[in-house]
Every structure is written in structure tokens, then in C-alpha cells.
Amino acid sequence: MKKIKLSFLALSVLSIGLLSSCGSDSSQTTTEQTTQTGTPAPDATPATVTIEISGTDQMKFDKSDIVVHEGQEVTLILHHSGKLPKATMGHNWVLLNQGVDMQAFDEKAAKAGEKNDYIPQDAASDMIAHTKLLGGGESDTITFKAPAEGAYDFLCSFPGHSSMMKGKFVVMK
């Protein structure tokens, strides 16, 4: 019994010793970690990801699927690669929360009008992120945190566009 107690004590002293040596030697530990991350594991998920998507004068997005990872900081760049003005062929990119009915959202967006970039001002909880409304040649960049694992809908909320301009935003673990 006495022997066990003693070895426990010895172990505690050892742990404290290790902890304090780590604390006082943090610069060396950091250097070692940097060296190790020089060759990252193949399955390492980057903390950030940049997605570019274009809308055209033919009322289409050039991507129907976007895949990111949970918790990633997503930088999304929307381009309008056409020439038409936003009054007739405006494009935005809206990411809906799960469970939001796209048709119902579209109706709210149409009521919000061009002055609000077709973003319903009283439906913030419907959206995870959105860009502004663009005309030909314009771009907009937004940054947001990828939501929980799952599939989400994205669309252009310009009236009548979501039948053609929509897709899936897939968040992986």
C-alpha cells in the first residue's frame, strides 16, 4: 500500500516536471510543430476555402454543386460574367438555411425588390449568407463560416431566376 502511494507521488512529480518544462520551452515546441506541418497529412482540412462562382447573361450559374467542410471559413466570390445590367439580368448568391422553402423565399425576395437586392429584410433567419445583386462585369466577395454538416440550397433570388440558378451547397465533416 505504501509502495503504491509512493509511486503515485513520484508520477505526480514527474508530470509536474514535464508540464513545467513544456511551459518554459514553448518556443522549441512551436518550431518542432511547424517542421512537422511542413508535410501535412493528406486528409488535413484547410481552415479556409475560396469558392468562385459566375452567373451569366444566359441566366445560369457555372456551378451546381459546391463542397466545403464543416467549420471552414468560406470566401465566396460571385462574378457576373455577362454584360446585361442588373435591372434586367441581375444575379446574387443566397445560401438558405435547411428547411427553408425556396419558392416561399423567392416570393419574399421578389417583394423586397431591387432596392434591397432581392434580399428579404425580414427573413434573416432564412439565410446563412448572401451577396449583393450584381450587373454584368461586377463581382462581390463574402466570407462566412461553413454551417453544420449537411446539404443546403443556394440560389439567385432575382425574380424568376431560381428555376435555373440554383444548386447544392454541401458541407462535409
Of residues 68 and 89, the one with the C-beta less far from Zn ion: 89
Exposure on the CB side of residue 150, measured as CA atoms within 13 A:
9
Cα→Cα distances 155→53, 70, 97, Å: 12, 20, 12
Reduced to 3 states, what is the DSSP secondary structure of residue 159?
A: coil
Of residues 102 and 171, the one with the C-beta less far from Zn ion: 102
Of residues 79 and 91, the one with the C-beta less far from Zn ion: 91
Binding site for Zn ion (CB under 5 A): 91, 156, 158, 161, 165
Kindly state the smallest distance separating residue 66's Cβ from Zn ion, in Å: 16
Query: Is the Cα dihedral 93, 98, 100, 102 positive or negative?
Result: positive
Kindly state the smallest distance separating residue 139's Cβ from Zn ion, in Å: 14
Kindly state the smallest distance separating residue 88's Cβ from Zn ion, in Å: 10
127-130: strand order across its sheet: 65-69, 166-172, 150-155, 94-96, 127-130
Name the DSSP letter for residue 126.
Answer: G
Kindly state the smallest distance separating residue 87's Cβ from Zn ion, in Å: 12
Question: For Zn ion, which residue has the nearest CB?
Answer: 156
Of residues 136 and 147, the one with the C-beta less far from Zn ion: 136
